A = this chain, B = another copy of it.
């Protein structure tokens, strides 16, 4: 789908605050709210907008620790290994990467003890991985909400 400047302006606003009323978006981009409605609907249908999500403070729901985990996968075990990773609670993202690691996970845990349990009981001892490294996120200095559009 081709996006014009109006679409991009709408996306910028919705990335920032997905609950901005269409009437307010319309006012800001100087169009009618029916147009905004129409364009948003088309971007949703086309998969440009993938969804709307509340972002929840991890600490408020008991997750004190985040980490990135690099993994080396044994040859031929990829499919199986990934499938088991997906089932582990606390695993939020699984990325296939170039460089030092084949897979990088992003995980959350209640505290460092639980993170250790997660890593040693469920990941490190899991068949199919030859090496792992846990990089605990001490703090997140910066995080944009969305892409530069």
A56 near B52: Cβ-Cβ < 8 Å = no
Which of B56, B90, B93, B141 touches A95 (beta carbons < 8 Å)? B141
B97 near A137: Cβ-Cβ < 8 Å = yes
120-149 of chain A: CB within 8 A of chain B: 133-149
B60 near A19: Cβ-Cβ < 8 Å = no
A99 near B146: Cβ-Cβ < 8 Å = no
Given contacts A60-B3, A97-B68, A135-B99, whether A91 and B53 have CB atoms under 8 Å apart is: no
> Is A31 located at the chain interface by the 8 A CB criterion?
no
Closest chain B CB from A56 CB (angstroms): 5
Given contacts A60-B48, A68-B104, whether A96 and B138 have CB atoms under 8 Å apart is: yes
A54 near B15: Cβ-Cβ < 8 Å = yes
> Is A76 located at the chain interface by the 8 A CB criterion?
no
13-50 of chain A: CB within 8 A of chain B: 14-19, 46-50
Give the residues in chain B near A143, CB-CB below 8 Å: 92-94
List 19 additional contacts besides A63-B147, A93-B142, A93-B144; criterion CB under 8 Å.
A1-B60, A8-B61, A11-B56, A18-B52, A48-B57, A48-B60, A50-B57, A51-B145, A54-B146, A56-B149, A68-B68, A68-B97, A92-B144, A92-B147, A93-B140, A96-B141, A97-B138, A98-B138, A104-B135
List, sorted by A's number, 8 A–B pairs whose CB atoms are closer than 8 Å: A17-B51, A17-B53, A52-B53, A90-B148, A94-B143, A95-B141, A100-B133, A104-B137
